[in-house]
Amino acid sequence: MPLPAEFADLEPYAGWALATEPERYAKRLQSSMEEMQAFYDAAFPRLEDAIAYIDEHPLDDLPEDARTLMHLMQGLVMVSFPVEVWKQARVPDSGAAYLDLIVEPVV
């Protein structure tokens, strides 16, 4: 899963470029706060550039590198609340509650 050349600095975090929400959530639960923080610190400053790059292409016909970048940024969204708010991978005080995403916008 190659990233666009302009985003080569994010290659160490390519493991977060997962196509589905359940995969991204499982990755979040398996990751340490240090790993999530490092990913967040590297990817968040690149978010606007990533969106601009992805927006250059039709969503239903993304080149592979743009699709990988989009999935990486979806991974960033997955870690944003744990990093910014909760300071832990799981949602506080949620017990066994879980939501299933039925349809992905783009896989």
Q: How confident is residue 98, by pLDDT bands cut at 50, 70 and 90?
A: low
**pLDDT tens, position by position, 3-44:** 999 999 999 999 999 999 999 999 999 999 999 999 999 999
Report the predicted TM-score, pTM, of the whole model to 2 decimal places: 0.84
CA angle 8, 81, 76 (to 5 degrees): 15
Neighbouring C-beta atoms of residue 4, cutoff 10 Å? 18
DSSP label of 96:
T
Domain boundaries, the chain: 5-86
Q: Quick one: pLDDT at residue 96? A: 54
